[in-house]
Amino acid sequence: MKTKLWIFAGLLSPMLQVGAAEAFQPAELSDAEMANLRGRYVLPDRIIHFGVSMTSLWRNSAGDAIGAQVALQVNHQAQANLTVTPLYETGNGNPVNTGNGQINGGGGLASIQGIAQSVRTAGDFNNGRNDLNIEISHEDGAPAPIQGQSWTANQQFSNAAGKVTVSSTNGGLQLALQANHNQGSAQQRIGLGGVSQHANISGSLNNVENLATLSVALRNSTRGLDQLYCAWNQSRAMRPTGY
């Protein structure tokens, strides 16, 4: 009998159509594809949570900050929850000097497949950080959902530091930051099988962060059950030989 296994097709690339409910659709794998997955999967009932979060934040010399967090959480029942949380901070009220640095080139960064990260600065005393974490945990229950506004469509937030736009672009999800006073820009995108994190800083005394986390929570299982399952598979393999 042909074995069928339903999985989420492309944990990154389909992630972002506009509706969260349509973001993950199951796809059937052929026997040939399944053969190539041997040793590279866990049983479906072991996965109790899968999540992706992106956070981008820009803080200028006056302490004003603008950013956003986007979080996609999928539970073991394949129910997706996509939220957006705006991030604001008010600074000390001091004026921000207009940036006059020039950043040139870098056009090829947009065409890199896989993971692309860059920090480019033409100002002084800036800090830029790109970080991607993959977390695998063993828990008895799924973590608490991240609170935020439900995703509906492209959204934009702004304050004295600048503006951030959250959008679905080319089959992926993108966070785009544009800082005021010509301080620079930042971008973070996930989808189409890749992750990109970039910061271009043309002013001074800025702190820019692009953070992304992919998390998987697995249900705890006893060692005895794992050994029993392994022994059962070994015994099934012996049947064609006459045992």
Lowest-pLDDT choice from 24-28, 61-65, 94-98: 24-28
Q: Residues 69-123: pLDDT tens digits? A: 998 877 666 667 788 999 999 999 999 999 999 888 877 777 777 889 999 999 9
- Spell out the domain ranges in the chain: 6-97+111-241
pTM of the model: 0.71
In which band, very low, low, confident or very high, does the pLDDT at 209 lie, cut at 50, 70 and 90?
A: very high
Q: What is the mean pLDDT of the chain?
A: 75
CB 219 within 8 A of CB 140: yes
Let me know the angle formed at the C-alpha of 205 by 200 and 207, rounded to the nearest 5 degrees.
60
* Amino acid of residue 16: L
**Mean pLDDT within 13-23:** 41
**Mean pLDDT within 192-221:** 87
Residues paired with residue 47 on neighbouring β-strands, in sequence order: 218
CA 34 to chain centre: 26
Both structure tokens of 126: 């800036």
Between 180 and 142, the higher pLDDT residue: 180
Tell me how far apart the alpha carbons of residues 86 and 165 are, in angstroms, rounded to a whole number: 10
Q: Residues 108-163: pLDDT tens digits? A: 777 777 889 999 999 999 999 999 988 877 766 555 555 667 777 788 999 999 99
pLDDT at 25: 47
pLDDT at 47: 62
In which band, very low, low, confident or very high, does the pLDDT at 50 lie, cut at 50, 70 and 90?
A: confident
